[in-house]
Structure 1
Amino acid sequence: MRAIEKLAIAAALLCCMLQTAYAIKCWDCRSDNDPKCGDPFDNSTLAITDCQQAPELEHLKGVRPTMCRKIRQKVHGEWRYFRSCAYMGEPGIEGDERFCLMRTGSYNIFMEYCTCNSKDGCNGANGRGGSAGSVLLATFAVGLVAHFLRQ
């Protein structure tokens, strides 16, 4: 394999890994303070938060946020929404961001807890999924490696 081919493969792999190196940015709001935080979500007056800059939590020393979360809860008939950076857990349920953890309790209490890390601001709208750029980059990288392996 020529040096240029090795360099091209290394560059493609580096590009694929760069996305995971960046800190995720998430919406951070509460519907009890800002009605635009509810559903449908209106981020026109909100600034997105860089989770890399989020404060370290006293009870989770050394743990940094790596995901976004959205909590929807109904307490005594009133819906509330919370959006923020998430410090622990995995995206979605078993890695599938289309699914959220749901719990119900007595006294008309319901909670839905959703986590994601597929793209910045993924805790905004209800729709979830990977970015088109990530899919294109991965396809390019696989095609490049396949091209060089055939030679």
Structure 2
Amino acid sequence: MANETSFPILLSALFVFCCIQQGLSIKCWVCRSDSDPKCADPFDNTTVPITDCKQEPELEHLPGVRPTMCRKIRQKVNGEWRYFRSCAYMGEPGIAGDERFCLMRTGTYNIFMEYCTCNSKDGCNTASYNHGSVFASVVSLAISLRYVLVYT
């Protein structure tokens, strides 16, 4: 009987672990197109190592704040496009949590800036998308619920 009750608890713990692990750290692409042209769009990560944001240094002007998202900035200054990808210390992922939307600003002297943040997965500050960890979480939750419904 002990095995029957511990199995759903184990699967629930696995589900929670997958969700928490995903939220505690994120890996992002860190590059600048003015020093590496492959950082521009379309993004080519063959020369850019992915960076674990929990290893990024604490910023002097933001004591105690750690990066929890990825950021991509697209900037046009005097007709020239520049791209910056990095870990993000502040902001929200998209508008109302929708990472497809970015903040856009224009200014004088022919300046345009698009600022995008995301935290849906490692390396989300590029175009590719992967559902691996979310898929494992959903499967373990479904198995756990089925087990509880069948044996209770």
Query: TM-score, normalising length from structure 2?
Result: 0.86
Equivalent in the alignment of 1:78: 80
Equivalent position to 1:15, from 7, 15, 18? 18
Equivalent position to 1:124, from 103, 126, 138? 126
The answer (yes or no) to whether the contact 1:29–1:84 under 8 Å persists in 2 is yes
| Runs of 4+ that moved beyond 4 A | none
Unpaired stretches in structure 1, ≥5 consecutive residues: none
Unpaired stretches in structure 2, ≥5 consecutive residues: none
C-alpha change, 1:8 and 1:50, in structure 2 (3 Å) is closer
Aligned-partner Cα distance in 1 for 2:42–2:8: 49
SS at match of 1:95: coil
Aligned-partner Cα distance in 2 for 1:40–1:11: 37
RMSD over aligned CA atoms reads: 1.8
The answer (yes or no) to whether the contact 1:24–1:117 under 8 Å persists in 2 is yes
Equivalent in the alignment of 1:49: 51
Aligned-partner Cα distance in 1 for 2:11–2:79: 58
Equivalent position to 2:107, from 87, 105, 108? 105
Aligned-partner Cα distance in 2 for 1:38–1:19: 27
Equivalent in the alignment of 1:139: 138
Q: Amino acid of the residue matched to residue 36 of structure 1?
A: K
Does 134-143 or 100-109 show the bigger shift? 134-143
SS at match of 1:2: helix
SS at match of 1:98: coil
The answer (yes or no) to whether the contact 1:13–1:141 under 8 Å persists in 2 is no
Equivalent in the alignment of 1:63: 65
Structure with bigger helix share is 2
Does 131-140 or 80-89 show the bigger shift? 131-140
Task: Tell me the CA shift for residue 139 of structure 1.
Answer: 2.0
Equivalent position to 1:5, from 5, 8, 11? 8
Q: Identity percentage over the alignment? A: 66
Aligned-partner Cα distance in 2 for 1:47–1:32: 17
Equivalent position to 2:117, from 115, 118, 138? 115
The answer (yes or no) to whether the contact 1:76–1:107 under 8 Å persists in 2 is yes
